[in-house]
C-alpha cells in the first residue's frame, strides 16, 4: 500500500491547511488541563503541538460549530470592507481566514483515520456534511465572489509575484469550481449534491473499516500452518490470544497478516478463503455493502461535474492536474498496459510451470500468485523474503530513511519523548536543518490497531506558511500498518513495507521543506504529489545506502554483498503482476469517473465490463475492487492513475542522480529541494522543468520495471 489518503474535509481542500498558535521555541508542557474547549485556547505545548491528552471527543462538535461561526465572521469582514477589492484585502485575507477551524479539522482528520471509534465515526457522519455546507456558504457567497472576480479581472495590472499569481488563479478557480457562477436554482441542487457526497464518502469508509475488522481466519490445527515463517505463526498466535482464542491462530485482512499468509501458506483452501474474504469486502449485501454507495457517488459526481460544464467527473478533477484530461491519463496508462500485461502473462506461465512441476494439479488463480511467485523467485534468484527480512528491522529502515535525508539535505531527526501524542505507541521527532534551525515536527505511527484504517498515508497537523510576517513551521504525520513485532522480537519489514516507509517519509519531507508565503500554496496537483514520495523508494535497495542501514537485527552484521547483488538482480521480478494490478485499478477508477450518465450503475456489472474491456487476465485481481476502493470513493477519486503518472516523474528524476554517478549528489539534491520547497505555489510542469532542465521522459520507468 503506497497511498496517501488525504483524510481532510472539503474545507481543507478549500483552505488546504492550518496553523496553530505556535511558539517558535518549545514551552513547558506542564499546564493543567483547562476546563474550556482546547480548540478555543492557545496551545501551550512544545512546538504548539495539539494537546492530545486534553482533547476529548465531546469537544469536537462544539468546536466545529463555534469555529465555523468564527470563520463566517472573518469572511463577513472581508465582504464588508469599504475599500475596493485588492489582492491583499481579499485574496490574501481569505487565505488567512479560518485558521482555527482548520486546526480542529486537521486534528479530527488524524483521529478519524488513525484512532477512530464508534463515537468518532458518529461525529464524522455529522460533521462532514456540516463542513461541506460551510464550504458551499463560502463559494456560493455572491458578494464575496464579486470581490474575488474583481481582483482576478484586474490581474494584468497587479504586478503579482509567481506565488501571488498562482494563489489568485487557484482562488478564482476554486470559486468557479465551487459553483459561484451557477444560477440560484442550480446552487440549491449543488449544495444538496455536496452534502450527499460527503455523507456517502464517510459511509463508504466506515463500512470498509467495519468489514475489514470483522473477518478472522481461525486456524485450529498446526498442520494448517505449513509454509508460514515462525514470526507469522507467532503473530497469529498472539492475535488469537487477544481475540480470546488462545491455542489457535488468527489471520486477518490487515496488510501484515493477509499478504505474508498468501505468500507462504501451503494450504490452498485457506489461501482461497482469506483472499475471497478480502476481495468481497462490502460486496455481500447487508448494512455494510458498498455497491449502491459507490454507484450513488459516481452518479452524483457526474451530475456535479455537468452542472459545472464538464462532461464527466474525470474532466472536472483532471483539469487541476498535470494530465489535464482523462485522455491524457488514459494515454499514459495504455502505453504501459500492453507491456505490463504481456509480462504478467509470461509470469503466469512460469508460475503454472512451477505448479505443474510440483504436480499441483490445478490452474493458477489469484490466491496462488503470491505463493508461487515467491517459489519461482527462490528457485531463480536463490532469494527468499525470509532471508532478507532480518536486515530490515523497522528501527534500521527508519534510520535508513533518516540517513538518506541527512546525506541529501543535511537535516537531522531528534526523538521527542515528552510531547503530546494521540496514542502512546506513536513516535515524534524534531526535524532540524544542518545548522540546528527548527524545521518542523514529524509524528510516526507504525502498526495496525482496530481503530486505524488500512493503507499508509501522510498528512499535516499544521502546514507551513507565513502568518503576519512570521514563519509557521509544519507538523506532519505518517501513518502505517506494518507488522507488529511478536513478543520481544523487533518488527521486521518486508521489502514492500520498507518502500512504503520511504514513500510516506518522502511526502513528509515535501511538507517539512515547504517554504511558501500562503497556506493555499500547500494544495498540490494530485498527479504531482506522488513524485516527492515515490522518488524516495528508488533509494531503498541502492547498495550504497543499504550498507548504511541494512544491518542484521540479531548479529548487527551489514547486509552481505552477495545478498545485495541477488536483490538487485531480482529487481524487475514479478513487475508484470505489480504493474498490472495497479494499472487495472487505475482503469477501473477512471472508467467509473468518465461516466456521462447520472443513471445508477449496477456496480458488479460495471466493474466486470470495465475489466473485460481492458482484458485483465483472470489470474490477477485489480489492486482494489470497487467496493473497497477507498481512493476511488474519496477525495482521490479519478486520481489513482496519479501513482503511475508520478512514477514517470520519479523514475526520471532519480535518473538525474544516477547520471551524476552519485546517488547522494549534493547539487542534484539541492535542486530537488528547491522543487519541494515550492509546494503548489507554481505550475508543477514548470517546477519539474526547472529541476531537470527538460520535460520528463518515460524511459527510466520502462527500464526500472523491465517493460522494454
Query: Which CB sits closer to Zn ion, 2 or 343?
Result: 2
Tell me the DSSP string of 273-330: HHHHHHHTTT-SSSTT--HHHHHHHHHHHHHHHHHTT-SSHHHHHHTTSTT-SHHHHH
**Smaller CB separation from Zn ion, 198 or 533:** 533
For cell 484504517, the residue is 453
- Please state the closest distance from residue 646 (CB atom) to Zn ion, in A: 8
C-alpha cell at 530: 506522488
Helical segments of 528-602, H only: 531-537, 543-549, 561-569, 575-592
Q: Of the two residues 211 and 530, which places its CB atom closer to Zn ion in the complex?
A: 530
Judged by beta carbon, residue 393 or residue 524, the one nearer Zn ion is 524
Minimum distance of Zn ion from residue 1's CB (angstroms) = 10
Q: How many residues bind Zn ion (CB under 5 A)?
A: 3
Q: Examine residue 476 and tell whether it contacts Zn ion (CB under 5 A).
A: no
Q: For residues 123 and 160, give the distance between their C-alpha atoms in angstroms, rounded to a whole number.
A: 42
Rounded-to-integer distance, Cα 159 and Cα 157, Å: 6
Contact 424, 446 (CB under 8 A): no
Q: Quick check: 281 and 208 in contact, CB under 8 A?
A: yes
**Shorter beta-carbon distance to Zn ion: residue 4 or 354:** 4
Look up residue 463 and give its three cell numbers: 502546514
SS3 for 37-81, per residue?
A: CHHHCCCCCHHHCCCCCCCCHHHHHHHHHHHHHHHHHHHHHHHHC
Q: Any contact of residue 321 with Zn ion (CB under 5 A)?
A: no
Does residue 163 contact residue 86 with C-beta atoms inside 8 Å? no
Residue whose CB is less far from Zn ion, 231 or 530: 530
| Residue matched to cell numbers 495539539 | 50
Of 505 and 573, CB closest to Zn ion: 505
Is-contact 175 153, C-beta < 8 A? no
Count how many residues are written for the chain. Answer: 708
How far apart CA 303 and CA 312 sit, in angstroms, is 8
According to DSSP, residue 415 is labeled E
User: CA-CA distance, 602 to 624, in Å (whole number)?
Assistant: 17
Residues 501-540 that bind Zn ion (CB under 5 A): 530, 533
In 296-437, where do the E strands start and end? 412-416, 427-432
Closer to Zn ion at the Cβ: 5 or 367? Answer: 5
DSSP string, 99-115: HHHHHHHHHHHHHHHHS
| Collapsed DSSP state (helix, strand, coil) of residue 575 | helix
DSSP state letter for 551: B
End-to-end CA distance of the chain: 25
124 is catalytic: no
Binding flag, residue 4, Zn ion (CB under 5 A): yes
Separation of alpha carbons 302 and 57, rounded Å: 35
The C-alpha atoms of residue 127 and residue 121 are separated, in whole angstroms, by 10
Q: Which is nearer to Zn ion, 530 or 647 (CB)?
A: 530
Largest CA distance in the chain: 84
d(CA 276, CA 253): 10
In sign, the C-alpha dihedral spanning 48, 101, 108, 60 is: positive
Taking the alpha carbons of 219, 225, 228, 233 in that order, is the dihedral positive or negative? positive
**Residue closest to Zn ion (Cβ):** 4
Contact by Cβ (8 Å): 577, 344: yes
Comparison of 43 and 480: residue with beta carbon closer to Zn ion: 480
Closest by alpha carbon to 181, among 151, 133, 141? 141
CB of 503 to Zn ion, least distance (A): 6
- Write down the catalytic residue from 504, 537, 542, 647: 504
Catalytic residue ranges: 504
Binding site for Zn ion (CB under 5 A): 4, 530, 533
Amino acid at each position: 500500500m503506497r497511498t496517501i489518503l488525504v483524510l481532510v474535509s472539503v474545507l481543507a481542500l478549500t483552505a488546504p491547511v492550518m496553523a496553530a498558535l505556535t511558539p517558535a521555541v518549545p514551552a513547558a508542557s506542564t499546564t493543567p488541563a483547562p476546563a474550556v474547549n482546547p480548540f478555543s485556547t492557545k496551545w501551550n505545548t512544545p512546538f504548539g503541538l495539539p494537546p492530545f491528552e486534553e482533547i476529548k471527543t465531546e469537544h469536537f462538535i462544539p468546536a466545529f460549530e463555534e469555529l465555523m461561526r468564527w470563520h463566517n465572521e472573518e469572511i463577513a469582514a472581508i465582504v464588508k470592507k469599504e475599500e475596493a477589492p485588492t489582492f491583499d484585502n481579499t485574496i490574501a485575507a481569505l487565505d488567512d481566514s479560518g485558521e482555527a477551524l482548520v486546526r480542529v479539522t486537521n486534528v479530527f482528520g488524524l483521529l478519524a483515520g488513525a484512532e477512530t471509534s464508534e463515537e468518532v465515526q458518529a461525529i464524522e457522519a455529522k460533521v462532514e456534511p456540516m463542513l461541506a455546507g460551510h464550504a458551499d456558504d463560502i463559494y456560493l457567497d455572491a458578494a464575496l465572489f464579486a470581490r474575488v472576480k474583481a481582483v482576478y479581472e484586474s490581474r494584468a495590472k497587479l504586478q503579482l509575484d509567481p506565488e501571488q499569481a498562482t494563489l489568485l488563479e487557484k482562488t478564482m478557480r476554486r470559486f468557479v469550481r465551487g459553483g459561484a457562477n451557477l444560477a440560484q436554482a442550480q446552487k440549491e441542487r449543488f449544495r444538496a449534491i455536496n452534502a450527499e457526497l460527503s455523507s456517502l464518502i464517510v459511509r463508504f469508509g466506515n463500512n470498509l473499516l467495519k468489514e475489514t475488522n470483522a473477518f478472522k481466519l481461525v486456524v485450529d490445527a498446526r498442520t494448517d500452518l505449513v509454509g508460514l515463517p515462525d514470526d507469522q505463526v507467532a503473530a497469529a498466535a498472539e492475535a488469537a490470544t487477544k481475540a480470546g482464542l488462545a491455542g489457535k491462530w488468527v489471520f486477518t485482512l490487515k496488510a501484515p497478516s493477509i499478504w505474508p499468509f498468501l505468500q507462504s501458506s501451503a494450504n490452498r483452501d485457506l489461501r482461497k478463503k482469506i483472499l475471497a474474504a478480502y476481495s468481497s469486502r462490502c460486496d455481500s449485501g447487508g448494512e455494510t455493502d458498498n455497491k449502491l454507495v459507490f454507484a450513488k457517488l459516481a452518479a452524483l459526481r457526474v451530475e456535479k461535474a455537468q452542472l459545472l460544464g464538464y462532461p464527466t467527473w474525470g474532466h472536472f478533477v483532471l483539469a487541476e492536474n498535470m494530465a489535464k484530461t482523462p485522455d491524457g491519463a488514459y494515454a499514459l496508462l495504455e502505453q504501459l498496459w500492453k507491456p505490463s500485461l504481456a509480462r504478467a502473462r509470461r509470469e503466469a506461465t512460469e508460475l503454472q510451470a512451477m505448479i505443474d512441476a510440483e504436480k499441483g494439479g490445478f490452474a493458477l488463480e489469484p490466491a496462488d500468485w503470491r505463493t508461487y511467485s515467491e517459489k519461482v523467485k527462490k528457485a531463480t534468484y536463490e532469494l527468499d523474503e525470509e532471508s532478507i527480512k532480518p536486515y530490515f528491522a523497522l528501527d534500521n529502515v527508519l534510520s535508513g530513511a533518516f540517513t538518506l535525508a541527512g546525506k541529501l539535505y543535511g537535516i537531522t531527526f531528534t526523538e521527542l519523548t515528552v510531547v503530546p501524542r494521540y496514542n502512546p505507541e506513536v513516535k515524534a521527532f524534531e526535524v532540524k536543518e544542518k545548522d540546528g534551525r527548527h524545521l518542523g515536527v514529524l509524528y510516526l505511527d507504525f502498526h495496525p490497531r482496530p481503530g486505524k484504517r488500512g493503507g499508509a498515508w501522510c498528512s499535516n497537523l499544521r502546514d507551513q506558511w507565513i502568518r503576519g510576517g512570521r514563519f509557521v513551521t509544519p507538523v506532519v504525520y505518517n501513518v502505517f500498518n506494518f507488522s507488529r513485532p511478536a513478543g520481544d522480537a523487533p518488527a521486521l519489514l518486508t521489502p514492500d513495507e520498507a518502500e512504503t516507509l520511504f514513500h510516506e517519509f518522502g511526502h513528509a519531507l515535501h511538507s517539512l521543506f515547504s517554504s511558501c508565503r500562503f497556506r493555499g500554496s500547500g494544495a498540490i496537483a494530485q498527479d504531482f504529489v506522488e513524485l516527492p514520495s515515490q522518488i524516495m523508494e528508488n533509494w531503498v535497495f541502492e547498495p550504497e545506502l543499504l550498507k548504511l542501514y541494512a544491518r542484521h537485527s540479531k548479529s548487527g552484521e551489514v547486509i552481505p554483498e552477495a545478498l545485495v547483488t541477488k536483490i538487485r538482480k531480482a529487481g524487475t521480478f514479478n513487475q508484470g503482476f505489480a504493474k498490472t494490478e495497479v494499472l487495472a485499478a487505475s482503469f477501473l477508477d477512471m472508467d467509473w469517473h468518465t461516466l456521462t450518465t447520472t443513471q445508477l450503475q449496477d456496480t458488479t456489472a460495471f466493474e466486470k465490463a470495465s475489466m473485460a474491456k481492458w482484458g485483465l487476465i483472470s489470474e490477477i485481481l485489480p489492486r482494489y475492487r470497487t467496493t473497497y476502493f477507498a481512493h476511488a470513493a474519496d477525495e482521490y477519486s479519478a486520481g489513482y492513475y496519479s501513482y503511475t503518472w508520478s512514477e514517470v516523474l520519479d523514475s526520471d528524476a532519480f535518473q538525474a542522480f544516477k547520471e551524476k554517478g552519485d546517488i547522494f549528489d549534493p547539487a542534484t539534491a539541492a535542486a530537488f529541494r528547491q522543487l519541494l520547497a515550492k509546494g503548489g505555489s507554481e505550475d508543477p510542469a514548470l517546477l519539474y522543468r526547472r529541476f531537470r532542465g527538460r520535460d520528463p521522459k518515460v524511459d527510466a520507468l520502462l527500464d526500472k520495471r523491465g517493460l522494454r
